[in-house]
A and B are shown apart, each in its own frame.
Chain A
Amino acid sequence: MPAEEKKEVKGTTISRRQFFKQAGAVSAAVAAAAASSVIAPEEAEARTTFAEFFQNNYRLMTDEEKKEAIARLEQRHSEEYGKKVTVDGSPAMKDVLFGYALNIQKCIGCRRCVYACVKENNQSRHDTEIQWIRVIRMEKGNFTVDDMDKGYPNSPNESFGIQVGGNAYKNAGVALEGQHYYQPERVPEKDAFYFPVQCMQCEKPPCVKVCPVRTTYRDPDGIVVIDYNWCIGCRMCMGACPYWARRFNWGDPNLPAEEMNPKTHYLGNRPRMRGVVEKCTFCLQRTRKGRYPACVEVCPVGARKFGNLLDPESEVRKILDRKKVFRLKADMNTYPKFFYFID
C-alpha cells in the first residue's frame, strides 16, 4: 500500500476512536431516552420483524435501506440485551485484501483462540454450542524397535502374502485422523502438534458457488460474508465447505446479555437468529476498523499473524516472503487466504 493511503487509513481509525470517546456519553443518554420512550416493546418487536421480513439482500440495498435496516437492528438488540448496541455497516477498506498466516510450529493447542472468538463474535454459548475455530491434535508418530513385527497388516492371516513390518501403520499428522476433543492436563504435549482450522476466506469459495440465494458472497477485502437476514438455511454451503468452517443455528442462539459484545457489524458479529448459517469473518467488525482479529490478539504464543496481502510491509506478506507456507487441502483448488507456515 502506498504510504499516503496508509496514513489515510490510520487517520480514519484515530478519528473514529475520538468520535466514540465523545459518543460514549451521548450514547448513554440516548440509550436511557430510548428505554423510557418505548411503550410497547412487543409491538415494536413485531414491527421490526415485519420490516425485516421484507428487506432485501444487504448487497442490493440502497444506502438508505441499509441505514434503516441497521437502525432497526440497533434498536432491537439494544432492547433485547439491555445495553447500547451498535451495528456497523462499514464496507471493505480500499486497497485491502485480508490474509492470515498461522505458525503450526508454534501453536500449542491451548484453544484460547476458540474462546476469544466466541466472546468477540456473539456465538451461541450452549444448546447448541457454536465455535468457529476447531483445533485438531495430531500425533507426531514414532518408530520403535518393539513395533518391528507390528503395523499393517495386523496379523499374518490378513497379510495376503504381503510382508510389511517396522511399525508401518501409525498415524502421524494425518488430518483425517486427528483428535478434536483432546483434553490433557497441559499443552503442548511432547508427542503431539496442533492444527487450528477456521474459515479460510477462499478466493474460489465453494460455499459461495452453491448458495442458491447469494446470501453468502465475497466482499472486496476478500472476506466471505453472510447476510443472516437473507439466508434460507438450506446448508448447501455447509456441505460444500472443505474446511468445515460453517456452523448452523439449529435452535435459538443462547447468548447471555452480560456476555454480549455490543460492538457489532451487520455482516459480522451481530446476534444471529435461528435457522441461519454463520462462520468466521476474520472479525470484520474489528479488522475494518484497523484492529487485529480477536484470535490473533489472544494467541499466547504469537502463532497467529494477520494483515493486508496487498501491502508488502504487512506481517502476512513478510511471512509469505520468508517462511515456508502451505494451504490446507490445496487439491480442492479453493485458494485460501489462510496460510499455514513453519519457521
Chain B
Amino acid sequence: MKIKKITKVTFGALVAGTVIFGIGHFQTQAQQEQPAQQAAATATVTECFESREGYTARSRVENVVPEYGYPNIKCSQTTGGVLWWGDPYDDTIPMGDMPDIDDITKGDYLTEDAVIKPREPQLNYFNMDPDKHCVMCHDGKAVPFPKDKKPRMITMHQDIVEDSMELMHGEGAIWCLDCHNATNRNTLIDHRGKEISFNQPQKLCGKCHGVEYRHWRMGIHGKRIGSWIAGGKKRWWVCTECHNPHTVQTNRFQPLKPEPAPALPKGMKNADHESVHAPSAAGHGEATPAAMH
C-alpha cells in the first residue's frame, strides 16, 4: 500500500519535472531569438564623421589594412560617428614645419612623423570650383575686396555665421577678416598679415590661444592617433577639426548624439531609480526612499 503511494508520488514528480523542463527550455529559446531579429533590421552606416559632426566626414573603405582585412574606419550604426580606426594614417599628408617650442620636449614633434588630414579639400564644401575654391567668387570683382576689417552685416554664409554682427568668437574683439584673408579667401591670415594655409589653422589660433597651443604641441591638448611612442608617427587633429571657430563661444565642442546606454542588468526593467535623485527628473525633498538619507 505504502509502496504504491510512494511510486505514485514519484511518478507525479517526474511529470511535473518534465513540464518544468519543457517550459524552461521554451523560454530560453525565445529569449535567444530576439537579438538576431534586431540586428537584421538595421542597415549598415558607411559614411561617418570624426569629431565635428557635418564637418569632418569620412567614408568607409574596405580592406585598407589587407593583412587583417581592416577597413580604414568603422562607423557607429546609431550616431554616425567614427568608432574605430583601422589605418590611422589613411588619407594624411605631412603636417609641415612648426616652430620649436621652448622646452625640453621640442613639442614631441618630428616633421616626418607628424601627419594631418588636409583641410583644404574641405573648401569644396560649397560645391565650388575644385581648384579655385573661395576665390571663385571672392576674386575682387564679382565680390569686391572689403576695405577694412570692421564688422558689418553680411547676407551670405548664414549657415556658417548666423549673425555677422554677433560673431560667437572672441567676445567682440575680433571679426571674420581677422582670420580670413580678405584678398585671398583660400587662405587664413594672421595679425601680422602672414598668409596661413587652412591645413595649418594652429599657426593662426595659437597667436591668441598660446597656452592651448603649447599644450597641443606637447600632445596634452587635442587628439592624436597612431603611435603612442614619443616622437612616433601620429596623425594630429588640428584646431578646427574639433572646434568650430565660428561658434566656439557658444559651445567649445558642438554637442553630439551619444552612443546607446549599456544594456540593463538582467532583472532590471528600467533605470528610473537613477533619476530619483537627479534634480531634473524628480523634485528633491519628495517622500521617496531616496529621502531616507
Q: Which residues from chain A sit less than 8 Å from chain B, CB to CB? A: 1, 6, 9-10, 13, 20-21, 23-24, 27, 83, 86, 106, 108-112, 114-116, 119-120, 125-129, 131, 134, 139, 141-142, 150-152, 154-155, 169-171, 177, 179-189, 191, 254, 256, 261-263, 287, 290-292, 294, 296-302, 305-308, 311-315, 318-319, 322-323, 343
Q: Which 4 A-B pairs have the closest CB atoms?
A: A302-B223, A181-B271, A186-B255, A24-B67
**Could you pull out 22 A-B pairs where Cβ atoms are within 8 angstroms?**
A10-B229, A13-B232, A126-B263, A139-B278, A141-B279, A152-B293, A170-B279, A181-B262, A182-B258, A182-B261, A185-B257, A186-B255, A186-B257, A187-B258, A189-B255, A191-B280, A261-B68, A291-B88, A300-B223, A300-B242, A314-B230, A343-B221
Q: A182 contacts which chain B residues (CB < 8 A)? A: 258, 261, 274
- Chain B residues 64-113 with CB under 8 Å of chain A are 66-69, 74, 76, 79, 81-85, 88, 104-105, 108
List residues of chain A with CB within 8 A of the CB of B39. 256
Interface string of B281-293 (1 = CB under 8 A from A): 0001111000101
Q: Which residues of B contact A106 (CB under 8 A)?
A: 253
- The reply to whether B108 and A313 contact each other, CB–CB distance below 8 Å, is yes
Nearest Cβ on chain A to B17's Cβ, whole angstroms: 23
Is A297 within 8 A of B85, CB to CB? yes
Interface SS of B by simple majority: loop
Residues of B within 8 A of A1 (CB): 230
Q: How far is the CB of B106 from chain A (nearest CB, A)?
A: 9
In the bound complex, do residue B84 and residue A298 qualify as a contact, i.e. CB atoms below 8 Å apart?
A: yes
Q: Are B262 and A154 in contact, with the CB atoms below 8 A?
A: no
Shortest C-beta distance, A339 to chain B (Å), equals 12
The closest CB in chain A to the CB of B255 belongs to A186
What residues on A are CB-neighbors of B50 within 8 Å?
300
> Bound state CA distance, A296 and B219, in angstroms?
12
- Given the complex of chains A and B, what is the CA–CA distance between A296 and B293 in angstroms? 39
Do most interface residues of chain A lie in helix, strand or loop, or is the interface mixed?
Answer: loop
A-B interface contact total, Cβ < 8 Å: 199
A191-B287 Cα distance, complex, nearest whole Å: 24
B223's partner among A120, A125, A301, A322 (CB-CB below 8 A) is A301
Q: Which of A21, A83, A177 contacts B277 (CB 8 A)?
A: A177
Expressed in whole angstroms, the Cα–Cα distance for A86 and B226 within the complex equals 21
**Is B5 an interface residue when CB atoms closer than 8 A count as contact?**
no
Binding site for A on B (CB under 8 A): 31-32, 35, 39, 50-51, 66-69, 74, 76, 79, 81-85, 88, 104-105, 108, 215, 218-232, 237, 242, 253, 255-264, 266, 271, 274-275, 277-280, 284-287, 291, 293
Known: A116-B83, A297-B88. 11 other contacts (CB 8 A): A24-B67, A108-B253, A114-B259, A115-B76, A154-B291, A180-B262, A186-B256, A292-B224, A315-B219, A315-B228, A318-B108
B259: nearest residue on chain A (CB-CB)? A111
Q: Are A150 and B284 in contact (CB under 8 A)?
A: yes
Q: Provide the residues of chain A in CB contact with B237, threshold 8 Å.
A: 302
A contact residues around B229 at 8 Å (CB): 6, 9-10, 13, 290, 308
Q: Determine the chain A residues whose CB is within 8 A of the CB of B69 once the complex forms.
A: 83, 262
User: Contacts A127-B31, A302-B237 given: A179-B271 contact, CB under 8 Å?
Assistant: yes
* Residue with the greatest number of chain B CB neighbours at <10 A, chosen from A83, A170, A300, A322: A300
Complex alpha-carbon distance, A115 and B259, angstroms = 8
Contact A301 B88 (CB under 8 A): no
Quick one: which of A120, A170, A315, A319 contacts B284, CB cutoff 8 A?
A170
Q: In the complex, what distance in Å separates the CA atom of A139 from the CA atom of B228?
A: 33
When distances are taken between beta carbons in the complex, the residues of chain B under 8 Å from A24 are 66-67
Inter-chain contact A305/B259, CB cutoff 8 Å: no
Residues B228 and A307 in contact, CB atoms below 8 Å apart: yes
Give the docked Cα–Cα distance between A290 and B224 (Å): 14
Measured between beta carbons, the chain A residues less than 8 angstroms from B225 are 292, 296-297
Q: Is the CB of A188 within 8 A of B260?
A: no
Bound form: Cα–Cα A322–B220 in Å: 9
Which residues of B lie under 8 Å from residue A13 when comparing CB positions? 227, 229, 232
Q: Which one of A114, A188, A287 lies within 8 Å of B262 (CB-CB)?
A: A114
